[in-house]
Amino acid sequence: MKDSTHDIPILAPAGRRFTGTDRRAPLRDGLQGCGEYGAGQTAGRFYPVACVALEVTQRCNLDCTLCYLSDRAEMTYDPPLSVLLARLVTIQSHYGEGVSVQLTGGDPTLRKVEDLEVLCREIRRFGMRSCLMTNGIRASRAFLTRLAAAGLDDVAFHVDMTQERSGFHSEVELNRVRRKYIDRAQGLGLRVLFNTTVFEGNVSDLPDLARFFRDQPEVAFVSFQMQADTGRGFLRARPDTITQDSVIRAVEAGYETPLHFDAAAVGHSRCNRYAGVLTAGGRAVSVLSNHHLVQRVIGALEQVEDGREAHLDIRASVLRLVLRRPLLALRAAAHLLACTLRLGTGLLRGRLRRQAIFIHNFMSADALEADRCASCVFMVATANGPLSMCVHNAERDRHLQASDRLDGPAGPQWWNAASRNLSDHADMPGLGDLDLAPIKRLKGQLKARHRNRKDAS
Ligand code: SF4
């Protein structure tokens, strides 16, 4: 199904404050509306959204061939801290405690570390989780140490061949960079995540890359993100050979075991596929192999949950499950024990760890699908509230130009990405004219076009 952007009636951000009573209801309604709220669905049932991106800058020190940023990204100003703090209040209003806030950009490490420390502290104070999304270049050990001390929970490194890092010719070679980044984060109490864009230039490397992730006990979460035709990046449409199924097969080849991406759902099945594994000593075993059991546990957790918080309190709910449904809890524990034993000699060689594997299928800017937009679990914080990430990426300039309004004792002030500072006037400047952009500010397809014009003349 292909809907044009104009046909979709749900493109507006969700507003600066949540006005309903059940924070999970909007996502649940969206999933129910498109038949995606089955027995394995966790979104809308246990949480109101998976994460919200807080873009702290549009600047980046790389120029990825599939970057989602706008052509005008390098012509914008960073949001003042007061704007970012106001957006955190909005995020908390919509999604409550427990939501994961992604400090992202651009690359967030281009901001002062002091700004990021303030944000980490504030996110912690609100009872939310923070995740630094970075290409890692400036995320030194000292930088991460400061953020960890300020309350940072997770660090997600984006490393792949779309970044054209000098001297690296394959994903396997890039594993040296990944390992260096893992070492930088080790011992700081941070959960380590990795993001990889899947495109024609690395699809044949996927099994080797997946095997690398399987064998890193420090890595808790691995995300494979399929090429999407959106943003300033030089590469455009995804080749037909890259599908959810082909990526699943490649990842399974790397983990050397079936991964059961269909047992538990995190949002729309055409957007996200999730698998969970136990790993030890170079072996992996899927923990979702028993669909029936997985879905019974999900149903039972829903029944025993008190539903007081926006996000499931997993520890308290599991405890209640043990008390109220002891036989089911026993079956689940026996299943996990059997999974662990199947790791065999791996248990002698390395630590037992859990790992989550995601495959994300972001939509192209000109092919948004209404049902997927309405049941999105990845939001971006805009001036006017959270908005689906794919919808946001399809019209980034429109949202960068929208003004944040801050109400203070001295009256309202406004800010948008075309202004360096807050203004007392609601009338904000427009984003710069691309034809007048200095060449050093061009990236992605515009930079390539400029180069081609120069070569031709
Ligand atoms: S996709 Fe690449 S260029 Fe774009 S923000 Fe991320 S690291 Fe920077």
Assign residue 297 the CATH number of its domain.
3.20.20.70
- Asked if the peptide bond before residue 106 counts as cis, ω within 30 degrees of 0, the response is yes
CA 200 – CA 228 distance, rounded (Å): 12
Ligand 1 atom nearest to 60, measured from its CA: 8
Ligand 1 atom nearest to 106, measured from its CA: 5
Q: What is the pLDDT of residues 325-371, one digit of tens each?
A: 999 999 999 999 999 999 999 999 999 999 999 999 999 999 999 99
Q: Does ligand 1 have an atom closer than 6 angstroms to the CB of 63?
A: yes
The letter for the amino acid at 69 is L
Res 1: pLDDT:
43
Domain presence at residue 175? yes
Q: What is the pLDDT of residues 245-303, one digit of tens each?
A: 999 999 999 999 999 999 999 999 999 999 999 999 999 999 999 999 999 999 999 99
CA 27 – CA 267 distance, rounded (Å): 8
Res 417: pLDDT:
98
Around Cβ 95, how many Cβ atoms within 10 Å? 26
What is the token pair recorded at 213? 């992730």
Q: What is the pLDDT of residues 214-251, one digit of tens each?
A: 999 999 999 999 999 999 999 999 999 999 999 999 99
* Domain carrying residue 289: 5-404
Q: Which of 107, 196, 226 to mutate to test the pocket of ligand 1 (most atoms within 8 A of CB)?
A: 107
Q: Is the pLDDT of residue 6 over 60?
A: no
Res 306: pLDDT:
83
Residue partners of 427: CB distance under 8 A and separation at least 6: none
Residue entry with tokens 């984006």: 158
Q: Between the CA of residue 352 and those of 154, 283, 346, what are the distances in Å? A: 20, 10, 9
Res 455: pLDDT:
82
pLDDT-derived band at 10 (thresholds 50, 70, 90) equals low
What is the token pair recorded at 246? 């082909």
The candidate with the shortest Cα–Cα distance to 300, out of 39, 35, 31, is: 39
Tell me how far the alpha carbon of residue 66 lies from the centroid of ligand 1, in angstroms. Answer: 8
Q: Does ligand 1 have an atom closer than 6 angstroms to the CB of 53?
A: no
Res 4: pLDDT:
54
Tell me how far the alpha carbon of residue 132 lies from the centroid of ligand 1, in angstroms. Answer: 13
Tell me how far the alpha carbon of residue 159 lies from the centroid of ligand 1, in angstroms. Answer: 10
Percent of the chain with pLDDT over 90: 91
Q: Is the pLDDT of residue 385 over 70?
A: yes
Domain presence at residue 267? yes
- Give how many domains the chain has, as a whole number: 1
Domain presence at residue 180? yes
Res 439: pLDDT:
87
Tell me how far the alpha carbon of residue 323 lies from the centroid of ligand 1, in angstroms. Answer: 47
Q: Note the pTM of the prediction, 2 decimals.
A: 0.96
Q: Does ligand 1 have an atom closer than 6 angstroms to the CB of 87?
A: no
Tell me how far the alpha carbon of residue 445 lies from the centroid of ligand 1, in angstroms. Answer: 14
Q: Does ligand 1 have an atom closer than 6 angstroms to the CB of 171?
A: no
Q: Listing from the earlier edge strand, what are the strands of the sheet with 129-134? A: 283-286, 272-280, 353-360, 219-226, 191-198, 154-158, 129-134, 100-104, 51-55, 378-382, 385-388
Task: Indicate the burial class of 364 (C-beta count within 10 angstroms; 0-12, 13-18, 19 or more).
Answer: middle
Q: What is the pLDDT of residues 145-159, one digit of tens each?
A: 999 999 999 999 999
Tell me how far the alpha carbon of residue 102 lies from the centroid of ligand 1, in angstroms. Answer: 14
The letter for the amino acid at 449 is R
Q: Does ligand 1 have an atom closer than 6 angstroms to the CB of 252?
A: no
- Please report how many Cα atoms fall inside a 13 Å half-sphere around the Cα of residue 296, on the Cβ side: 11
Q: Is the pLDDT of residue 88 over 50?
A: yes
Which residues is 311 bridged to in the sheet?
none
Domain presence at residue 428? no
Could you tell me if 355 and 349 are in contact, meaning their C-beta atoms sit under 8 angstroms apart?
no
Q: What is the 3-state secondary structure (H, E, C) of the chain?
A: CCCCHHHCCCCCCCCCCCCCCCCCHHHHHHHHHCCCCCCCECECCCECCCEEEEECCCCCCCCCCCCCCCCCHHHCCCCCHHHHHHHHHHHHHHHCCCCEEEEECCCHHHCCHHHHHHHHHHHHHCCCEEEEEECCCCCCHHHHHHHHHCCCCEEEEECCHHHCCCCCCCHHHHHHHHHHHHHHHCCCCCEEEEEEEECCCCHHHHHHHHHHHHCCCCEEEEEEEECCCCCCCCCCCCCCCCCHHHHHHHHHHHHCCCCCCCCCECCCCCCEEEEEEEEECCEEEECCCCHHHHHHHHHHHHHHCCCCCCCCCHHHHHHHHHHHCHHHHHHHHHHHHHHHHHCCCHHHHCCCEEEEEEEECCCCCCCCCHHHHHCCCEEEEECCEEEEHHHHHHCHHHHHHCCEEEEECCEEEEECCCCCCCECCCCCCCCCCHHHCCHHHCCHHHHHHHHHHHHHC
Domain presence at residue 212? yes
Q: What is the pLDDT of residues 391-411, one digit of tens each?
A: 999 999 999 999 999 999 999
Domain presence at residue 17? yes
- Rounded to 10°, the helix 141-149/113-125 angle is 30
Minimum CA distance residue for ligand 1 atom 4:
67
Domain presence at residue 449? no
Tell me how far the alpha carbon of residue 267 lies from the centroid of ligand 1, in angstroms. Answer: 25
Domain presence at residue 214? yes
At residue 55's C-alpha, the angle toward residues 413 and 88, to 5°, is 60
**pLDDT, averaged across the chain:** 95
CA 365 – CA 68 distance, rounded (Å): 10
